């Protein structure tokens, strides 16, 4: 993508991943908004999988105001890369090649924090293909990455730090749980002081770092009690 951007000569950029599909009129729909936007994005539907043909997100419920759109974007990425069209001269920062996840999300946040005209298109403009290798999945490492990514925008947007802290809390919960099940897995809590965490999450980190054996015993007791309860219910 970055190589293509560097060599592009037109005033607009649009992206299409190899396994996704534009509709016959996608570029024509984009062209309708060349005069009233700097950055536009449209809806997309699933191609394949159990939700084949279903629209991923209905944009009619999204606000038209750019600042409100940015706030919603900080909550989670709803912009599919195949549905984006942006002015070439705005993309002064390319996709972050150090990331193997959410590099598009980082670029959308960067662009929406600029003083630009944003247009949401309330119609499907491309199809996102679902297959076993699709990148849409969640794990603790991705929550950590999202937390750090949003934290990097915290000076520009106060809400970004709030959301970053929430993702980090998700990471703490899943990472500790995974660590208790797998003795070879060790969470990365080196940056936890940078986030605004509640007392419960801080306590979990403290117990993990200072009293791991005690935390393990408590987890085992809770697990046994749950198993005993399930047997009684059955």
> In 3D, which of 82, 71, 107, 93 has the Cα closest to residue 21?
82
Angle, CA of 209, 212 and 213, to the nearest 5° = 160
What local confidence, expressed as pLDDT, does residue 134 receive? 56
Indicate whether 119 pLDDT > 50: yes
pLDDT confidence bin for 226, thresholds 50/70/90 = low
Given a cut of 80, is residue 163 above it in pLDDT? yes
pLDDT tens digits for range 31-40: 999 999 999 9
Question: Helical H runs in the chain?
Answer: 2-7, 26-31, 66-75, 103-112, 140-151, 158-181, 199-210, 212-233
**Distance between CA atoms of 179 and 175, rounded to whole angstroms?**
6
CA distance 182 to 93: 39
Min mean pLDDT across 12-21, 46-55, 87-96 is at 46-55
Per the model's pLDDT, the better-predicted residue between 163 and 49 turns out to be 163
pTM over 0.75? The answer is yes
Give 39's strand partners.
86, 118
pLDDT at position 32 is: 97
pLDDT > 80? residue 219: no
| pLDDT class of 143 with cuts at 50, 70, 90 | very high
Instruction: From 149, 170, 154, select the one nearest 98 (Cα to Cα).
Output: 149
Residue 86: pLDDT band (50, 70, 90) is very high
| Statement: residue 82 has pLDDT above 80 | yes
- pLDDT range class, residue 9, cuts 50, 70, 90: very high
> What digits encode the pLDDT tens for the residues 178-196?
888 887 888 889 999 999 9
The residue with tokens 């060349």 is: 34
The per-residue pLDDT for 234 is 41
When the pLDDT of each residue in the chain is averaged and rounded to a whole number, the result is: 89
Cβ pair 114, 92 in contact under 8 A: no
Distance between CA atoms of residues 224 and 216, nearest Å? 12
Percent of the chain with pLDDT over 90: 67
pLDDT at 221 over 80: no
Rounded CA separation 223/227 (Å): 6
Kindly tell me the sign of the dihedral angle through the C-alpha atoms of 155, 158, 160, 161.
positive
Over 80: is that where the pLDDT of 135 sits?
Answer: no
Total residue count of the chain as it appears in this document: 234
Who's near 228: CB < 8 A, 6+ residues apart? none
């Amino acid at each position: 993508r970055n190589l293509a951007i560097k060599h592009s000569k037109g005033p607009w950029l649009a992206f299409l991943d190899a396994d996704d599909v534009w509709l016959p009129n996608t570029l024509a729909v984009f062209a309708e908004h060349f005069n009233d936007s700097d950055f536009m994005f449209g809806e997309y539907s699933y191609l394949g999988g159990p939700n084949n043909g279903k629209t991923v997100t209905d944009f009619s419920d999204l606000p038209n105001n750019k600042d409100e759109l940015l706030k919603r974007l900080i909550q989670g990425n709803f912009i599919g890369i195949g549905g984006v069209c942006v002015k070439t001269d705005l993309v002064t920062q390319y996709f972050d090649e150090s990331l193997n996840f959410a590099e598009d999300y980082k670029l959308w946040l960067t662009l929406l924090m600029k003083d630009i005209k944003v247009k949401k298109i309330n119609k499907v403009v491309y199809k996102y293909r679902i297959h076993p290798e699709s990148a849409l999945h969640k794990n603790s490492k991705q929550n950590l990455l999202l937390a750090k990514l949003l934290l990097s925008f915290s000076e520009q947007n106060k809400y970004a730090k709030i959301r970053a802290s929430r993702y980090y809390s998700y990471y703490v919960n899943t990472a500790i749980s995974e660590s208790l099940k797998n003795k070879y897995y060790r969470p990365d809590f080196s940056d936890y002081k940078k986030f605004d965490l509640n007392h419960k999450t801080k306590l979990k980190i403290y117990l993990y770092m200072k009293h791991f054996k005690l935390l393990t015993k408590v987890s085992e007791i809770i697990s046994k009690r749950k198993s005993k309860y399930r047997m009684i219910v059955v």
